[in-house]
Amino acid sequence: MKKSKTSFFCQHCGYMSPKWLGKCPSCNGWNCFAEELVADTNSGSRAEMKFDGKPIPIEEIPAEEGARTATGIAEIDRVLGGGIVGGSAILIGGEPGIGKSTLLLQMMQNLAAKGLKVLYVSGEESASQIKLRSRRVGASAKDLLVLVEVSLEKILEHIKAVNPAFVVIDSIQTVYSADLMSAPGSVGQVREASSRLILFSKKHGIPVFLIGHVTKDGSIAGPKVLEHMVDTVLYFEGDSGHAYRIIRGMKNRFGPTNEIGVFEMQEKGLKEVPNPSAFFLAERPQNVAGSVVVPSLEGTRPILVEIQALVSPTNLGMPRRTAIGVDHNRVSLLVAVLDKICGLHLSGSDIFINVAGGIRVEEPAVDLGIVAAIASSFLDRPIDARTVVLGEVGLTGEVRAISQMDVRIKEAARLGFNRCIVPKSNISLPGSVPKMEVNAIHSLKELLENLF
């Protein structure tokens, strides 16, 4: 009898090794290798999936941009870059319970209501559980077909028979191929199932949505490999303590990345939040020290966020620096600059930074906001409630230019702010926005003079 071949796979990143290893050389994870049977690549199951392509001059390839289908949910369409591209594979990651199944069901209902046939394959819930959810979100289109199945071969057969316009696999970790002996959810299975589904979708031009669970360290469970295989990766973020949910494009072969869509989880499913700035500023305290508003840019969209700081005397030898929603190292750097350049003696204080609402802001344009909030709390002097600050801060205390000033300032003006503190070096100083006072500054020293 032919001996079946096995290999060891890292369950985090998919790295393959012929022997067991304690530490993964690729992702440096410990104790994450599991033995899996490797499929015989010569077997017939893969042959049918091959493209029968031949080389053609690039000139003669028809450009089919425009074959996009809008989902009808504006927040999603923007993240996708205008709609779903034919034959694309879209991975949607997120923690359990965040609302992935709900979102996909609502999207598919929208598409099915337009008369497009949709196949929703679930390996996680029974048909009646899906029915219960569909009642809540009002999904009842007759072209929305539900299939409860985990076998990859059967799923592919059903897709062929139904010939839908869109396929959803909820979730990719439950799909399992009889060709492989390893357990469902293992890297080998997930990779095999995704690659065959993706090949199928490319060959037949059917867009496929793969739902993927995210582990607690934030990566899509097991396979980082999945992210390389698909065209688009969307992450569904949010906080169980908050009702809002953010869908963020991490990779997109057909559109922008870093675009976000904002939703609120309600009794009847996810609802779009068309005006996120107002949403994130809703509970802002007035005239208290340690709070400032920053017009941050998420993709192409300006969103006003409130940055809060609390500076309090420490009881510890080593003061605490805690940052939620902004980069921790960035905060340490800014605290050092404030200490050295502006003479605020922060070394005896614990410093806590929080972005209200639980949203994450990554860009350096919020530096000035972090500095302003810390200074305000340390000096115990409130910042004017209708002032926004923005700018990047350098190590010598200089305030550096940022991009797309205009859209940010317009958004601030729209929400009733009437003064902005911005970098002097910015080429496009906001001049055209009515009723907005502009204070352009060079350095952190000037910031403190302007603020208080």
Residues in touch with ligand TYD (CB under 6 A): 94, 96-102, 133, 136-137, 265, 267-269
Minimum CB distance to ligand TYD, residue 284 (Å): 25
Q: How far, in Å, CA of 425 to CA of 440, rounded?
A: 8
Minimum CB distance to ligand TYD, residue 36 (Å): 26
Which of the listed partners (Mg ion, ligand TYD, none) does 71 bind, with a CB threshold of 5 to 8 Å by partner kind?
none
Minimum CB distance to ligand TYD, residue 72 (Å): 18
Length of the chain: 452
Minimum CB distance to ligand TYD, residue 84 (Å): 19
The nearer residue to Mg ion, 129 or 347, going by C-beta atoms, is 129
The nearer residue to ligand TYD, 220 or 371, going by C-beta atoms, is 220
Which of the listed partners (Mg ion, ligand TYD, none) does 340 bind, with a CB threshold of 5 to 8 Å by partner kind?
none
Q: How far is CA 225 from the centre of its chain?
A: 17
Q: Are 32 and 10 in contact (CB under 8 A)?
A: yes
Which three-class secondary structure state does DSSP give residue 57? Answer: coil
Measured on CA atoms in the order 402, 356, 376, 386, is the torsion positive or negative? positive
Which of the listed partners (Mg ion, ligand TYD, none) does 283 bind, with a CB threshold of 5 to 8 Å by partner kind?
none
The nearer residue to ligand TYD, 98 or 351, going by C-beta atoms, is 98
The nearer residue to ligand TYD, 147 or 361, going by C-beta atoms, is 147
- From the list 284, 262, 254, 45, the residue with the least C-alpha distance to 153 is 45
Across the beta sheet with 144-148, what order do the strands follow? 144-148, 118-122, 166-170, 208-213, 89-94, 232-238, 244-252, 260-266, 269-272
The nearer residue to ligand TYD, 180 or 265, going by C-beta atoms, is 265
Tokens, residue 203: 């060959």
Which of the listed partners (Mg ion, ligand TYD, none) does 98 bind, with a CB threshold of 5 to 8 Å by partner kind?
ligand TYD
Minimum CB distance to ligand TYD, residue 172 (Å): 13
- From the list 266, 265, 318, 273, the residue with the least C-alpha distance to 298 is 273
Which of the listed partners (Mg ion, ligand TYD, none) does 274 bind, with a CB threshold of 5 to 8 Å by partner kind?
none
- Within 8 A by CB and 6+ apart from 183, the residues are 176, 189
DSSP one-letter code for 445: H
Footprint on this chain of Mg ion (rule: CB under 5 A): 101
Q: How far, in Å, CA of 246 to CA of 100, rounded?
A: 11
Which three-class secondary structure state does DSSP give residue 436? Answer: coil
Minimum CB distance to Mg ion, residue 100 (Å): 5
The nearer residue to ligand TYD, 9 or 120, going by C-beta atoms, is 120
In this structure, the strands spanning 33-37 and 387-389 are unpaired
Minimum CB distance to ligand TYD, residue 85 (Å): 24
Which of the listed partners (Mg ion, ligand TYD, none) does 102 bind, with a CB threshold of 5 to 8 Å by partner kind?
ligand TYD
The nearer residue to Mg ion, 123 or 382, going by C-beta atoms, is 123
Q: How far, in Å, CA of 375 to CA of 380, rounded?
A: 8
Which of the listed partners (Mg ion, ligand TYD, none) does 182 bind, with a CB threshold of 5 to 8 Å by partner kind?
none
